[in-house]
Amino acid sequence: MGAIQTIYAHHVLHGLASWELEPPDLTEMNLRRDGFVAQGYPYVVAILDGEVAGYAHAGPYRTRPAYRFTVENTIYLHPDRAGQGIAGPLLQQVIDDCTGLGYRQMIAVVGDSDNQPSIRFHEKMGFRQVGLIVGIGWKAGRWLDSVVLQRALGAGSGSPP
């Protein structure tokens, strides 16, 4: 978890994917992971050359009961590992796990419309953009958009759960 905290801290401090302003400490990162795992959500880590190269997990999209078949995904890579083919297998494992658990929709919320690599990556993974919330966040001295992408899992909304 120390390596995961370091990866996430980098993205909080130097990127726009996370809209946190201060990186959570290791204790908080452990609590977050433990919370997802305790609720039965997948949490996967990519190890490359003996080091943590990235991580991905799913969690609730919203807490109200009608959303119980929808999850939101999270994925972060070590900054030195971008473009090395790690993200696809990581996210695919989360997609497969969530499908196996009976979830029907997965939502990706991408921090800022300028984050075209993340948007294109999610589209490659079967997501389609379904929403754009303009200027909803303020970080790094500018207003940021929130891009919402969605993909069906299993039968999607084609049949009752």
Quick: pLDDT tens for 144-156: 999 999 999 999 9
Asked if residue 158 belongs to a domain, the reply is no
Mean pLDDT of the chain: 97
Predicted TM-score of the model (pTM): 0.96
* 49 occurs within a structural domain: yes
Domain range holding 146? 2-152
pLDDT digit string, tens, across residues 107-159: 999 999 999 999 999 999 999 999 999 999 999 999 999 999 999 999 999 99
Two structure tokens written together for 151: 């993909």
**What is residue 28's predicted lDDT score, i.e. its pLDDT?**
98
Rounded-to-integer distance, Cα 139 and Cα 124, Å? 27
The confidence score (pLDDT) of residue 144 equals 98
How many other CB atoms are found less than 10 A from the CB of residue 91? 25
What's the pLDDT tens digit per position in 52-90? 999 999 999 999 999 999 999 999 999 999 999 999 999
Q: How many folded domains does the chain comprise? A: 1
Residues 6+ apart with CB under 8 A from 89: 46
